[in-house]
Structure formats: structure tokens, C-alpha cells
Structure 1
Amino acid sequence: MRSPHPSQIWRGLLDLFLQPNCPLCGRSARNIVCIDCDRQIEACRYPASRHSHELNQVPLFAWGQYDRQLKRAITICKFNQQPNIARFLGEKMAQAQELVPKSIIANPRLNIVPIPLHPQKLRMRGFNQAELIASRFGDRTGLRVLPHLLKRIKNTKPQFETKSRQEREENLNNAFMVDRKFQSLYSQTNFSVLLLDDIYTSGATIRSAIAALNKAKIKVAGVVVLSKTSY
């Protein structure tokens, strides 16, 4: 049996020690997350028959359940400054060809609009996870991403700090507005948007965003989210 060449041994040692650790469990990982955590995230994925829901006559498409390792991945992404997790999850969502019907995706005037963060929160976090997910989704589907069409004008407290559905609705009331500098774009015939966010809980955030878009006479063709609670 031939002994491995010294360069192969050296390369193997480098791979072992330079390999990044999984941000979810701390074990070594060849990808953004390790194989085991990847499997656990996939286990949260909804079957195709459960992707679709409805929100005020607007179709809602959810990739997975906001639970277990998917919930942990989103939390670590947002609060431990791990933007690569958002890109990784966005790629997963984009690969789910059955997630959004072709009848919606096929519209050449369809655009992806990620739910924005308030500027103050964006400065603190350094990135908008919904925008990073949307970027991957747009790359896969060929849809244009418009991260600045919708603005968050109200610095709301986190929804998990609210205690009732009514408080959630009041917290997000008039939280968004459409940037008028895009008027020449969104006033075009058949212009429509696909809203995108990382988490859907009570729907207060999405309803507020839809209200702002409708006020500007922009059609919302659907909502796509990475995860949905059983709320």
C-alpha cells in the first residue's frame, strides 16, 4: 500500500484546522453549516402540499416551519451577526422549485420586495436578513430584487415582545411606506411584487406592508417566507 505524499498529509491537516466551525453547533463544517445541522434544517421544511396558505386573499408561500434547527439558524443569523446563514437559507428556499407557482413567477413585471428594517436597526445589525435571502431567491428565479422600494418609517419593537394580537397590529400600524422615487417604475402596466420575509408569525408585519403597497396602487402577487409559525 502506497504511503500518502507529504503534501497530501499537509493539505489534510490544513483542511482540518482551517475548516470553519458550524455557527449552529460548533463542529467543523465544509459548508456554512455542518451536514448534521443541514439535515435538521431540512427536517423543518414543509411538504409541497403545505407550502401554500392565504393572507387577506393574497397567496402566502412558506418554505418551512419556524421551529427547532431552522428557528435556531434564523435566531443566530440575526442576533449573532451571521449574514452567511441568511444567504445559505436563501439558497435553500430558492432551490424549492415548487414553492411559488410558475403562474406567478412567469410574470416579467414581477419584482421581489424584501421586508425592510428600520434604518436604526439596520445600522445596529449591519445587514437585513430578508434582503440577503431575497438576493439568493432572485438569482435563482431571475426576478429583480427591489430592496429600497418599501421603507420602514416606524422603529417598532420586536414582535416577540408584544403580548397580544391587537398589540402586534398596533405595533406595526403605518410602519411602512413606498419610496416615491420609484414611481415611474411601479406605475408601469402589470407591475407587481412578491413580498419576502424570513419569519411569518401573526401576519401583522406582512399586512402592514401590503397596506402600504396597496396605498401606492401596487399589486401584491404573493408573499413568500422562509419560515412560518404554527401561530
Structure 2
Amino acid sequence: MDILETHAYDRRQRRNMSCALFLSLLPFFLAAALYFYMGAHDWPASITSAGVKSAPTLLLAAVVLSWNGGQSILGVVGGLIFSAVGDCCLVWPELFLHGMGAFAVAHLLYSLTFLSSRYATYTSSSWTRLLYLILFMFGGGFYTYLFPFLKKAPDSHLLIPGVGIYIVLIIVMGMLAIRTRHISTLLGSLSFMVSDLSLALQVFKVTAPTVHGNTFVMVMYYLAQLLIAVGDVKAVENKDDFAKWKRT
């Protein structure tokens, strides 16, 4: 009976946590909805459009900070803040390299977070190693495909090595997300890759611009940041469950 009561208490705690987390995420949902409703991606480059674009990411950073405390500043919170800086830079096309650098730092911080003791540690299996290989090959293949278009860009001498480093960082981030075996973290990293892939195809003129191209990029981007943030908030809870399982 005591065991049953303990399980029931754990379920109630998780349900209460999920409700509280959802309520704390409402400002993010409202800010993201406002961005799409106002069509901010079609505005001319300005401080206002940069603020509207980066607001959802900054609100996510505030949520993670409120749940996980100051130690998350060098983790997911820091990654979200650098992502917001990248959001602002990409509003101005001439600041593309600066924005890419900010997002590269964000991926590095996410990767360090996924390696931290806050996440449960699992031994690698054959299927995870296969996923690592698939991601690595995909990153290399995409860079090879993108290379001729990078050579045509005005800043090719900076973009060719810069994009290569960026792809390595986001692939490593995805591999470490797989290592956590946390579904939100994994889906968030994959959504980030899809968003960046779509953006790269448009920015480097691999594909013709489409009416809803930027909308798709931003939907996948906000989804990625949301899933990574939620995964980080729940990381300690999942680690506790893993520890309980190991003791049984």
C-alpha cells in the first residue's frame, strides 16, 4: 500500500509540475503568436522587428531560469540568450555572420548542458551509434551540397569555414541530444536542424524564395527552442527516475 501511495504521489507531483510549467510558458506562446499574427518577418529591419522576433526566445530563457536557477545561465538559459542575439542579428542581412556566430555559441552551450550531470547518463547502444553515424554523414553531405553555393557568396572566404564549423557544432549538439534519450531534447535538436537547413537553402539561394518559407523556418525554430527548454526543465525529474530504476 505504501508503494502504491508513493507512486500516486509521484503522479500527482508530475501532473502539478506539468500544469505549472504550461502556465509559465503562456507568455512564450502569446509572444510567438503575436510574431506570426503581425507578420513581423515581413517588416523592414528595425529595432522593433528585432525585439518582436527575439521576445519568445527571451521569455523561454526566463522560464528556464525561474525553474532551474542561476546555474542554467551557462547552459540552456545562456543558449537561449545567445539565440535571441542571433535572432536580432538575422533581421539585418549584413549581420548574418554575427548571427551565425551567436547561434554557434548557443549550440555549444546546449551541448555542454547535455553532457552535464543534470541529465541521466546511458551507455551507448548499437542503434544510438547508428544514429550518430547518420547525423554525421548527413552533416557532411549537406555541407558538400552547399559548398558550390557558398563559393558564390560575397563573403565566401568567411562563409566556407564558418558554415563548416557551424554544421559540426549543430551535429554534435544533435548527437548529444540523442545521448540524453529525452524525447523533448531530441525532437528539439532535430527541429533546430530542420529550421537551419531550410534557412540555409534560402539564404544561399539553393532554392527559390517561397511565400511561406520564412514562416516554416520560424515555426520549426520556436518549436526547437520550446522543446529544448522543456527538456531542460524536466531533466532532473527524468534523472531521478533513472536513478530509482537503477536501484531496483
TM-score (norm 1): 0.29
- Higher relative contact order structure (alpha carbons within 8 Å, sequence separation ≥ 6): 1
Q: Higher helix fraction: Structure 1 or Structure 2? A: 2
Structure with the largest fraction of strand: 1
- Using the size of structure 2 for normalisation, the TM-score is 0.28
